[in-house]
Amino acid sequence: MSKVVIITGAGSGLGQAVAIRLAQEKINIVAVDINEEGGRETVEMVKQSGVDAMFIKADVSKAEDVKNYVDQTVERFGTIDYFFNNAGISGSGSYFLDSKIEEIQQIVNINLMGALYGVRYVAEVMLKNGAGSIVNTASSAGVIGQDSVVTYSATKHGIIGLTKSMVAEYAKDGLRINAIAPGPTETPMVKAFYEANPSMKENATKGIPQKRLGTPEEVAELVAFLLTSKAQYINGEVIRIDGGFTNTK
């Protein structure tokens, strides 16, 4: 029987790349995104690999939307084997004291609350089934401090706390949860951030020992490995994939 994965933020960037990679493993895809056009595009792309796939529109900052995408997945496929808990936003790049309260709330609600809600409802299904694997998207800004992304960094540090603490509670019940910490990666979100803050791209690239940004496809390979049975004894880890960026900090 084919495995099933839910991917949030599946309409572009890392989410879309992971969907395409997992479809190559014949894993059925549930693409979740607030962007309907991007999400449906991902579904059409993965269907070319011969898997079953569906799109569910959701605002992950709303608990009822998160519960809905979990319920719809179980109704359609009967189970959830894997979860790439990935949806997130970066913010404007303003220094923290210049940030509007509304922006702070939006970043926290999407990046942190959305991830918490996702784990809450997905893990409940996985534990009933006796097993499951989750990968949360943290960031290089979740393992070090970085200027101009204070709220974003705070949420990504929170993702790491979520990952480690869930393992402490539920690894004994068959749950595996790991996190990835990508450095600057060529995704639409990062490109938009650098377009709004051009000097930051040059500074970031200079600070990466490999002297380039990562690609979504490189991250997708790591996520696919961590989610699947090839990584059964890796649990509670935060895997950096940043060209050595945080290694020099």
Output the six-digit token pair for 54: 């569906």
152 catalytic residue (yes or no) = yes
> Helix (H, G, I), strand (E, B), or coil: what is residue 243?
coil
Which regions of 88-201 does DSSP assign to beta strands (E)? 132-137, 175-182
Local structure of residue 185 (DSSP, 8 states) = B
The residue annotated as part of the active site, out of 121, 152, 170, 194, is 152
- The string of DSSP codes covering 144-165 is S--TT-HHHHHHHHHHHHHHHH
C-beta neighbour count of 2 within 10 angstroms? 11
**What's the rounded Cα separation, in Å, for the pair 128 and 125?**
5
Tokens of residue 114, six digits: 């959305």
Per the listing, tokens 């709220």 go with 151
Q: Give the three-class secondary structure for 63.
A: helix
Active site residues: 152
